[in-house]
Structure 1
Amino acid sequence: MFLKLEDYMLPCLNKKLFGVDCLGCGFQRAIVHVLKGEFIDAFKMYPAIYSLLFFLIYILLNFKFKFNNSQKTVRFLLLLNLILIVGNFILKIL
């Protein structure tokens, strides 16, 4: 018996309580789309998915290899993700 990842997703409490999407709405479903190989659907669901994945991979690799100027790169990637997440949120509510 194969269990689907969708069966284990957490509901958005912000959406349930207030009826409004939060900044992270769509992230879990986008991860599922990436794992299934549905890359365009993942981007449509949550546009910041690829920059967040790159950010997490970079941080994990930085623990192992200690890149030069990693603090500047982490700050840049953090700012990029923040802009993408907030921009996506603003587009959703408009």
Structure 2
Amino acid sequence: MLPCPFKYFFKIDCPGCGFQRSVITLLQGECAKSFELYPPTIPFLLSLVMGIGVSVLKMDPNAKWLKAMYFFTGFVVLGNYLYKIIFHQLH
């Protein structure tokens, strides 16, 4: 596993901390455990695949559904980070 430089310097998790463990767990077929480790994993991976698909298929990169997917993924990442900071690291 790659160490997190943000956590090393600032002593708190970064918005992506847990992603590596979550992806490995997802690849092992443990979806629920993957979600517990890092909830944004599946939306992030879906957004990544759809973004690559749009590029490869020469579709409109400004499509509203794609922007909505990116916005939703960002919202989940931010929400997860705030939850982690408020309820896990302050206690």
TM-score range, shorter chain: 0.7 to 0.9
- Give the TM-score, by structure 1 length: 0.81
Alpha-carbon shift at residue 63 of structure 1 (Å): 2.3
Q: Is the 8 A contact 1:30 1:45 kept in 2?
A: yes
Q: Is the 8 A contact 1:23 1:85 kept in 2?
A: yes
Alignment gaps of 5+ in structure 1: 1-8
Distance 1:70 1:36 in 2: 34
- Selected match of 1:29 from 21, 32, 39: 21
Q: Is the 8 A contact 2:54 2:61 kept in 1?
A: no
Q: Does 1:10 align with 2:2?
A: yes
Distance 1:69 1:10, change over 3 A: closer
Alignment gaps of 5+ in structure 2: 87-91
Between Structure 1 and Structure 2, how many residues are aligned?
86
Give 4+ residue runs of structure 1 displaced > 4 Å after superposition. 67-70
- What CA deviation, in whole Å up to 9, does each residue of 1:57-81 have, x standing for no partner? 1112212334468521221011101
